[in-house]
Structures are given as structure tokens and as C-alpha cells.
Amino acid sequence: MRKLDWMMISAVLAVAAAGCGAPEPPAAAEPAEEMPAADACAPVGEIQFICDLISPEDLAVLPGEEWVIASGNQEGGMIHLVSVRDKTSSVLYPTTAPRERLDAATYPDCPGPIDPGEGAAFRAHGLYLKPGDGGVHTVYMVHHGFRESVEVYEVDGNANPPELTWVGCAVAPDGLTLNSVVALPDGGFAATSFRTAGLAESIDEILTGAISGSVWEWSTAGGWTEVPGSATGGPNGLEISDDGEWFYIAGWGEQRFIRLSRGRDPVERDAVDLHFRPDNLRMQPDGSVFGAGADHFNTPEETFHVGRIDPQTLEVTRIIDHPVIERFAACTAAIQIGGEIWMGTNRGEKIGYFPAR
């Protein structure tokens, strides 16, 4: 087993305690001089940026592709609404007067809205948008703060700009550290837990599966249940087939894209190796899945990556492989919007985008 120094272990434990999902690399011994803010927002090759966001870890595009919702997964992070046309952003949450309307029939055990006193403890992690009728959609958000939970919002796409209303939550069972979430076609949702219980004493325990997590489903009638066959070292991103019969899991620890049957006995599970550690997954209109992630444990230089995976054949096509960019480190999400591919990051202050090919 590879030995890690105290700095690496401390970094892993700090990230694990914050519920941020994939561990960060150790801090550099000689950090580079920080760029002025204006220079930090300048394009890098074909990659351009939307700046002044904190840790836009995941992205969800509203039907019509005029607006994107971005999460905020570090201290000071907020849920932002981003204009696709203007490349500007505004805050959806927290606000001084948030819209709140508890759907007690669907979320009977939800104790109420997020405590406004959370302040810097608030984290918005994974996102998933479920299109609805009449321009009103549902957004599911993995939340870290005073409680570990999936928070549910109604998004009115008819308003200009769209408006966000909190409608419910499901508090996670003790021991889960949630990461990504998807809506289920038959109601409820599913989420990954990066670890089922406990903290890793070294990164090797996640990489080898000694510390593992799994996928959990939630429904109004049944609450939380673990998905059979989903145990994985560091399950990160999550997607689901349109018919609800297959989960697609980002196996961060195994460096794999995993296809797992849902509701079948026996369970069917296949996987394909990736050239990076996948973070979030996002289904594309053509049925392929974008996987975004980074590699900083097996290479001398940290890099970030986006790949397209065919969930039927498990064929992988490389889209971008790039060295880290200041204030945009580990790419954690990728989604195509029109002729552009947008990227989020867990360790940065901006959204990146570049022309789709």
C-alpha cells in the first residue's frame, strides 16, 4: 500500500469532514503567485470563463438552454443562476426572503427549510433538474450544513429570471456523506454516498475500496434504502437511464464508469476503466454520458478531463485533457449547451466553457 505523508492525510480528512466528495491533492510547497482577478478571468486557449462564483461544483441547465443553475460547494458558496447568453450570474440562494412552501405530503419527515443561521456552513453540492409541465421544473440539491440532506426546489422557468421555491427535503441517515443526486422516473430520487461510515485514514483506503460508499434511493413511502450491488470505493457522480432500469455511477476510487442494473435479481454490473477519476456525470440529449474529473495521484502534474461515454457499448471518447488552470482546478461537471461545453469545478471561482466539436 502506498505511503502518504501527514500533509496528504490531513488534506483528505479535511475534505472528508466537509463532505466535499473527492479529496484534494496536497498543497504545493511553493504556491504560485496569485494572478490579479482580471487576468484570472482571461481565456486560456479556447477555454473562456464566467467568473466571480465560488466552487460551482455542479451544473444543471433549464429546458430551453437559456439558464444554468450552479451549485456552490465551499465556504461562501451559493446557488447561482447563470445566463447562457450574457454569461452573467445572480444569486438564487441564500437570499434575505427565500420562497418556501413545504410539500408535506411528499416529504412528511422533512423538519422544515434550511436553517438561515447556517451561514458559512452552507454547502450546495450535487444538482439534478427534472423537467416539469408548464415551464415549472424540480431541482434536487445535495446539501451539507447543519444537516446532511437532499433539498428539493421548484423552479419557475416562466419567470424572467427564473424563480426558486424550496418545497421539501430528505435528511440523510447517520453515517452517509452525500455527493450526487438524480430523480427517479417512478418518483423519489437516488443519491451517492462517498463513504457509508467513518473517515479514511489514508487515501489508499478509498482507492482500494477498504472504505466504500454506495447508492441510496429515497421515496415518500419507503424512505432511504441502499441499492443492492452499488458498493464502490468512492462513488461520486450519478446518472440514470430514461427508463429507470440502469444507474450510471462515477467510480472515483476505482477510476471507472459503472453501469448497474436497477430492480433486477440478480444484479447486473459492468464497468469501463477511465484515464481519470470521474466526478459528476451528466446525460446528454444523444443518450451519451459526459464524465468530468481530474487526476492528481498518478501523474506528476495535476490535470482535468472530460470524456463522453456510451452507456450501451461502454466506449469512451476523449473530449478534453488539460493541465489545471489557476482558480479552476479539478473539473467536476461537464454539460453541452448549444455549441458549447460548460465545465464546473469544486476548487475554483469560475465556470469554464469551450466550443463543442
pLDDT by 10s per residue, the chain, length 357: 333 333 333 333 333 333 344 555 444 333 344 555 568 899 999 999 999 999 999 999 999 999 999 999 999 999 999 999 999 999 999 998 999 999 999 999 999 999 999 999 999 999 999 999 999 999 999 999 999 999 999 999 999 999 999 999 999 999 899 999 999 999 999 999 987 655 444 566 666 666 689 999 999 999 999 999 999 989 999 999 999 999 999 999 999 999 999 999 999 999 999 999 999 999 999 999 999 999 876 667 899 999 999 999 999 999 999 999 999 988 999 999 999 999 999 999 999 999 998
**Numbers of helices and strands, H then E, in the chain:** 3, 25
132 contacts 138 by C-beta, under 8 angstroms: yes
Q: How far is it, in rounded angstroms, from Cα 170 to Cα 151?
A: 7
Q: How far is it, in rounded angstroms, from Cα 308 to Cα 322?
A: 15
Secondary structure letter of residue 95 according to DSSP: -
- What are φ and ψ of residue 7, in 5° steps? -65, -45
pLDDT of residue 31: 39
Whether residue 286 lies inside any domain: the answer is yes
Quote the number of domains for the chain.
Answer: 1
Whether residue 330 lies inside any domain: the answer is yes
Angle CA 152–122–144, to nearest 5: 65
3-state helix, strand, coil in the chain (%, to 5): 10, 45, 50
Strand partners, 140: 128, 152
Whether residue 198 lies inside any domain: the answer is no
Whether residue 334 lies inside any domain: the answer is yes
Whether residue 168 lies inside any domain: the answer is no
195 contacts 110 by C-beta, under 8 angstroms: no
Burial class (CB in 10 A: 0-12, 13-18, 19+), 9: middle
Q: How far is it, in rounded angstroms, from Cα 205 to Cα 211?
A: 5
175 contacts 155 by C-beta, under 8 angstroms: no
Task: Determine the residue type at 261.
Answer: S
Whether residue 3 lies inside any domain: the answer is no
Secondary structure letter of residue 199 according to DSSP: -
167 contacts 151 by C-beta, under 8 angstroms: no
Q: How far is it, in rounded angstroms, from Cα 213 to Cα 195?
A: 4
The contacts of residue 99 (CB under 8 Å, 6+ apart) are 163, 164, 165, 166
319: domain range? 275-357
Whether residue 298 lies inside any domain: the answer is yes
pLDDT of residue 20: 43
Q: How far is it, in rounded angstroms, from Cα 256 to Cα 273?
A: 5
Whether residue 316 lies inside any domain: the answer is yes
Q: How far is it, in rounded angstroms, from Cα 282 to Cα 110?
A: 28
Q: Are strands 303-309 and 316-323 parallel, antiparallel or unpaired?
A: antiparallel
Query: Which residue has cell 481565456?
Result: 43
pLDDT of residue 36: 59
267 contacts 259 by C-beta, under 8 angstroms: no
pTM, 2 dp: 0.89
